[in-house]
Amino acid sequence: MSPETGETLELDVRRLEPPEPLERILDTLADMPRDARLRVVHRREPFPLYDLLRRLGYQWHTEGADEYFEILIWS
């Protein structure tokens, strides 16, 4: 699957304190349909998440901004 296909779920974790953003992202991915993708808005780049995504077989694309990061995750 490519990041351009399927339903996109939205998750904004900018106001959550660690480790809640990571937990919410992983919980959402566990319940997400296989053909969907997840768009996460985060206040910083979540480097610990990337290793977990790699091990779980997900792909991602991150775009940074001064105020927040957007991470698109798909399998």
Following CA atoms 3, 8, 12, 17 in sequence, which dihedral angle do they give, to the nearest 10 degrees? -70
Residues 6+ apart with CB under 8 A from 40: 11, 12, 13, 25, 46, 70, 71, 72, 73
Tell me the CA distances in angstroms from 53 to 11, 66, 67, 72, one per residue in order.
16, 24, 23, 11
Domain residue extents for the chain:
8-74
- The domain defined by 8-74 carries CATH number 3.50.50.60: no
Q: What is the pTM of this model?
A: 0.90
**Residue 28: both structure tokens together:** 């959402």
For the stretch 12-52, pLDDT in tens is 999 999 999 999 999 999 999 989 999 999 999 999 999 99
